Chains A and B, each alone.
Chain A
Amino acid sequence: AQSVTQPDIHITVSEGASLELRCNYSYGATPYLFWYVQSPGQGLQLLLKYFSGDTLVQGIKGFEAEFKRSQSSFNLRKPSVHWSDAAEYFCAGVNNAGNMLTFGGGTRLMVKP
């Protein structure tokens, strides 16, 4: 079955520290992959997407993600976290033949002052 997995339910980092959120996918072919962020009481905002080409993609708010086919991963990174980055982060994927978006369970990020 096609799926997206986020192994970490909660992560706490100090403000100014670097961040990496993990995402693993299971698709037969290279999927389209996305990272969304959801702040409390808000909808999902698209941070970045990977369709093809360069495996390192840049997104909004200083985030980037790297597609690694050999590891079936699409981890999200940020070099220096700000307190306003505290939110829930969702990795999602869709088979490039269709458009059924499948979400991971989410990772809740907390930022310590």
Chain B
Amino acid sequence: EAGVAQSPRYKIIEKRQSVAFWCNPISGHATLYWYQQILGQGPKLLIQFQNNGVVDDSQLPKDRFSAERLKGVDSTLKIQPAKLEDSAVYLCASSRRTSGALGGIQYFGAGTRLSVL
């Protein structure tokens, strides 16, 4: 079974530029998550999708961050304009369902490391 795919692996941009990250979840997984992991910290949930609908985006800085999952499969996370403090690893994860014991297991991609200069 293929894992969660993310691209690019690395991205370097200057502040005020825009950037986009792509994620392809495990086949058949209805729920998709984007996390931000700042160096030295644990991952923090940014947004959670169930199929193509948003379940939780309470921690997404909506003035600059946006995410979509139009067909309920792939997802894109965008930052526009980027700030220095957005430098982090952006992790995508997927799970079979939103809730419940077995559905609660999240599988993670390798992440995209963003450096904002």
Distance of A23 from chain B, by nearest CB (Å): 11
Contacts A43-B108, A43-B110, A105-B41 given; 12 further ones with Cβ under 8 A?
A43-B4, A45-B108, A52-B101, A92-B42, A98-B98, A99-B31, A99-B103, A99-B104, A101-B106, A103-B43, A104-B42, A105-B40
- In the complex formed, the residue of B with least CB distance to A96 is B101
**B101 interface neighbour in A51, A103, A106, Cβ under 8 Å:** A51
**Residues of A that sit less than 8 Å from B by CB:** 32, 34, 36, 41-46, 49, 51-52, 90, 92, 94, 96-101, 103-106
| Chain B 45-61 interface mask (CB, 8 Å, partner A; 1/0) | 10010000000100000
**In the complex, are the beta carbons of A103 and B4 less than 8 A apart?**
no
A45 to B4, CA, bound (A): 11
Contact-size category for B: 20 to 34
Distance of B55 from chain A, by nearest CB (Å): 8
**In the complex, are the beta carbons of B98 and A99 less than 8 A apart?**
yes
**In the complex, are the beta carbons of B91 and A44 less than 8 A apart?**
yes
A36 to B111, CA, bound (A): 15
**Chain A residues near B41 (CB-CB < 8 A):** 105-106
